[in-house]
Every structure is written in structure tokens, then in C-alpha cells.
């Protein structure tokens, strides 16, 4: 599980999930480039405060680790390039990429504005693509120079929302579904270079999700089942040499539980009697099938929301 001597980039790491993931990778020995879009601001007393990325990097350094901050927008192509370059220039390599940066703009599809749609797709999906693109190019070149596989790990952040058909999050669900597609495609493309690519679906109480989980009580004793700290160990594992055979997978994680999701399977197949279907034949074949199928049973897998430790 040691990441000694390896270098990790964690996006959206100024707070919440990204922060605890960066701290965990540093605890395991990695050099960490902490990325966040947040700018310097003012604290509660009005004093100037460092950018969130720099605060986390300082926290890692104070604990004896090695970390540097990168303040930038991963959805911007050049800033994403600078982020990957910063890791290589500062520490001599890039071994781990954790894509975590994201935003929420929740609204029903009939009320959603174009900006609310575009901004969420941009930060989540384009942001994942940008950093993956430059990291993949780096590893491909390194593998060619080495004449064989190199060490590379990508951990992407998807969500149960893409599975459950979250009614008030069409932009977020679409972006997170796209991230799974990006994950499986990239896993297939990079495996020959020694790179693994996996996606996690974390459930955690953070600043971004405080409205989503406001009805879930924080326990008076013990660790909150929605604490981001439940997610960090899985990220550390997927980034480690121990996870060399874990590739192209999607895992749900929260509250002391990890669930491996099954790939979609074919439920039924209908073959045309002739060369192609007619409308009448489709009606004759499909309509009775769906008449007997439970009305709410569709491609959405809302049952993942019921996953709990020990259940």
C-alpha cells in the first residue's frame, strides 16, 4: 500500500472529499499536488486567508509530507495542462491522478437553464477529460521511452445519481454517467501502458452536498456514516500497487462499505421474423413484454441508494 516516492494530483482538493483524499495519499507517502479553483479570501476575523489548495498543501507539509498547491480550473484546457506539468516539473513524475473537482446546480429538467446545464457538464466531465488527456499523454510517452509499462493510476469520481435517475439532477447525473463512460474507455486504452482507471461513487457530507444530506442526522457518537473519511482509504488503495488488477471498475463507497457494481446485462432479446421489424410486429412482441414487467422497473438502479454497511 506504500506510495513512497510516487506523485499524485488531486483535483478539487481544497475542501471535502478532495481534501481527505489528498491527506490520505500523503499519509501513504505520496508527493501531492493539491488543486482547487478556490482563490485566497478572508477568514472570520477579516484577515486575509490562503487559497484552500494552499491550506491543504500546508497541512500536508506540517504533518511531514511533501505537497504543493495549484490554484486553477481543471475545465480550462491550459490550466489542466499546467497542473499535470507542475507535478512532473516539481517532483519528477506523475503516478496518480484523482479527479474529484465538481459543482452542483440542481434543478428539474423543465426549469434548468442552459448555464446550469453547461457549467456542471463543464466542470465534472470536461474537467475529468482535460486532466486525463494530459496525464495519459505523459504515461504513453513515458512507456514508449521505457520500452514497456509504467506506473499509472487514475481514480475518477462518479455518483450513484447516474444510476438512480435522480430527478432533480439531470445535469449532474448526465455528467457522472459520462465519467463512467470515460473511465471504461480510458481503462481499455491505457492498460497496455501499465495504467489502471477506475471510478468511485462516494456518498459524503461536504459543502457541495450539504443541501442533499440535510435530512440525515449526524450521530452524537462515532464517525458520521457520511463523513468523507470513509472514502479516502479506497482512493488510497486504488492508487496503490496492490490494486494492479483492478481496472475499469465502478465502486460505491460510504459509511464503512464498498460495493462493486455489476456491468449491465441483457434482459431480453427480440428477433424480427423477417429481415427487419415492422411497427405491428414490434407492438406484438414488445407491448406484452412490458405489460408484464413491473411499471417502475427500468434502466435506473435506485436500489443502490439503499446500500448500507451490513445490509
Calculate Rg over the CA atoms of the chain. Answer: 21
- Which grid cell is 262? 455489476
- Which grid cell is 130? 482535460
Residues 151 and 95 sit within 8 Å (Cβ to Cβ): yes
Q: Report how far Cα 74 is from the mean position of its chain's Cα atoms.
A: 13
Q: Exactly one of 6, 172, 193, 240 is catalytic; name it.
A: 172
C-alpha angle 274-279-280 in degrees, rounded to nearest 5 = 80
Q: Return the half-sphere exposure (C-beta side, CA atoms, 13 A cut-off) of residue 158.
A: 28
Q: Exactly one of 159, 161, 166, 240 is catalytic; name it.
A: 159
Q: Exactly one of 6, 158, 161, 176 is catalytic; name it.
A: 176
- Among residues 33, 29, 32, which one has the least CA distance to residue 1? 29
Q: Is 166 a catalytic residue?
A: no
247-271 b/e with 16+ CB inside 10 Å = b?
Answer: bbbbbbbbbeebbebeeeeeeeeee
SS3 41: strand
Strands (E), 242-299: 250-254, 257-260
Q: Is 176 a catalytic residue?
A: yes
Q: How far, in Å, are 50, 244, 259 from residue 31 at the CA level?
A: 20, 20, 29
- Give 73-102 as a DSSP string: -TTSHHHHHHHHHHHHHHHS---EEE----
Q: Could you list the active site residues?
A: 159, 172, 176
Amino acid at each position: 500500500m506504500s506510495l513512497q516516492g510516487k506523485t499524485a494530483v488531486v483535483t478539487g482538493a481544497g475542501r471535502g472529499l478532495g481534501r481527505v483524499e489528498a491527506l490520505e495519499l500523503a499519509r501513504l507517502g505520496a508527493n501531492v499536488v493539491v488543486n482547487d479553483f478556490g482563490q485566497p479570501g478572508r477568514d472570520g476575523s477579516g484577515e486575509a486567508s490562503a487559497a484552500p489548495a494552499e491550506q491543504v498543501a500546508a497541512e500536508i507539509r506540517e504533518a511531514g509530507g511533501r505537497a504543493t498547491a495549484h490554484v486553477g480550473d481543471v475545465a480550462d484546457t491550459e490550466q489542466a495542462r499546467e497542473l499535470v506539468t507542475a507535478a512532473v516539473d516539481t517532483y519528477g513524475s506523475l503516478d496518480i491522478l484523482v479527479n474529484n473537482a465538481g459543482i452542483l446546480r440542481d434543478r428539474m429538467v423543465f426549469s434548468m437553464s442552459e448555464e446550469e446545464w453547461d457549467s456542471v457538464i463543464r466542470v465534472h466531465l470536461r474537467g475529468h477529460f482535460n486532466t486525463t488527456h494530459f496525464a495519459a499523454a505523459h504515461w504513453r510517452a513515458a512507456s514508449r521511452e521505457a520500452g514497456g509499462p509504467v506506473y499509472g493510476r487514475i481514480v475518477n469520481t462518479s455518483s450513484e445519481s447516474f444510476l438512480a435517475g435522480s430527478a432533480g439532477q439531470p445535469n449532474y447525473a448526465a455528467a457522472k454517467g459520462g465519467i463512467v463512460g470515460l473511465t471504461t474507455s480510458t481503462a481499455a486504452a491505457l492498460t497496455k501502458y501499465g495504467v489502471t482507471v477506475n471510478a468511485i461513487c462516494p456518498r459524503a457530507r461536504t459543502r457541495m452536498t450539504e443541501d442533499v444530506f440535510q435530512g440525515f442526522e449526524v450521530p452524537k457518537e462515532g464517525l458520521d456514516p457520511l463523513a468523507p473519511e470513509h472514502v479516502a482509504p479506497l482512493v488510497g488503495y486504488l492508487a496503490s500497487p496492490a490494486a494492479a488488477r483492478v481496472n475499469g471498475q465502478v465502486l460505491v463507497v460510504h459509511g464503512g462499505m464498498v460495493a462493486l457494481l455489476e456491468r449491465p446485462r441483457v434482459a431480453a432479446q427480440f428477433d424480427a421474423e423477417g429481415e427487419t421489424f415492422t411497427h405491428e410486429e414490434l407492438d406484438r412482441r414488445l407491448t406484452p413484454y412490458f405489460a408484464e414487467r413491473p411499471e417502475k422497473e427500468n434502466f435506473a438502479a435506485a436500489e443502490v441508494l439503499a446500500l448500507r454497511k451490513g445490509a
